[in-house]
Amino acid sequence: MIVLSSDNMRIAKELDMVVFRNRLKEFAVKIGMGLVNQTKLITAASELSRNMLRYAGEGTVLIEIVNGQRQNGVRVTFSDKGPGIPDIDQAMKDGFSTGKSLGLGLPGARRLVNEFDIKSTVGKGTTITITKWKNG
Amino acid sequence: MDKIPILKIGHFLMVAIQVDLYDRLALNLEADLVQAVSKTGARGVLIDISAVSIVDSFMGRILGNIAGMSKILDADTVIVGMQPAVAITLVELGLPLKGVQTALNVEKGMELLQQKIKITEEEEPEE
């Protein structure tokens, strides 16, 4: 996959999430992504950035425009040095939550994007990468 | 600190969310609205989200909370103006806003609330 452009941001407070969502929208608009796919991508990213803030306290997001599968897409990587997820299979199940949310964050976000990859080590942190294709 | 204004129109309260909501702002709105229902004795709450471009699970939960809390205080809540892309995303996310009434726009939402008070007034015995 070829990376055409990218931007790195730090998420350390709630207002950073708003700035991040706006930046992500700019990237999606730049590649001509339709409104429904834009909304799905930004909603998934909103869930994941909130998780990062809530469980790890802070983290970074990398937004990239990538070319693959004969079309452009937006890839977002969420990295934190938080407590990590002990059981990823369980965390990916609908309705499972250790926090006070509905437990839709991870499985819900996965449904909204085309590619979803999660790596987590207890005590070290979590990295989640999502990709939404322009016409995905 | 940003604040979302709450307008009183007859028996109803109306809120138009015109800014990007962050979690604290949404929580403040929830508290302010429930307070306002109690203080004014409003019978209905209308929330216009036509300018809102994303509703994630947190925002959805707040909307559900507002409806549930207002109901306990005898006020119905109607969410109006949801963008089609937001509706599609909410269902796919797995959050179809159960228990929250919706209407296409402010006008239809007002009609819905007005019908509701009319029905309850008819049910109450005349003094």
pLDDT digits (tens, 9 = 90+) for B92-103: 998 888 889 999
Interface touch A17/B89, C-beta < 8 Å: no
Domain ranges of chain A: 2-133
Contact B24, B55 (CB under 8 A): no
At residue B81's C-alpha, the angle toward residues A15 and B122, to 5°, is 125
How far apart are alpha carbons B44 and A61 in whole angstroms?
41
- Nearest residue to A25 (alpha-carbon basis) of B124, B54, B22, B79: B54
Region A34-51: mean pLDDT is 96
Nearest CA in chain B to A51: B58
pLDDT digits (tens, 9 = 90+) for A6-40: 999 999 999 999 999 999 999 999 999 999 999 99
How far apart are alpha carbons A61 and A41 in whole angstroms?
14
How far apart are alpha carbons B48 and A19 in whole angstroms?
23
Interface touch A47/B20, C-beta < 8 Å: no
For B45, phi then psi, to 5°, come to -130, 130
What is the per-residue pLDDT for A15? 93
Nearest CA in chain B to A46: B56
Residue B86 to residues A39, A41, A44, B50, Cα–Cα distance (Å) = 7, 11, 12, 10
What is the per-residue pLDDT for B127? 55
What's A2-133's CATH class? alpha beta
Structure tokens at B69: 């809390």
Structure tokens at B119: 């029905």
Using 70 as the pLDDT threshold, list the residues of chain B that sit under it: 1, 124-127
Q: Which domains does chain B have, with CATH numbers?
A: 6-123 (3.30.750.24)
pLDDT digits (tens, 9 = 90+) for A79-113: 999 999 988 888 888 766 555 555 567 999 999 99
- Nearest residue to A65 (alpha-carbon basis) of A48, A47, A41, A81: A41
What is the per-residue pLDDT for B97? 86
What is the per-residue pLDDT for B96? 80
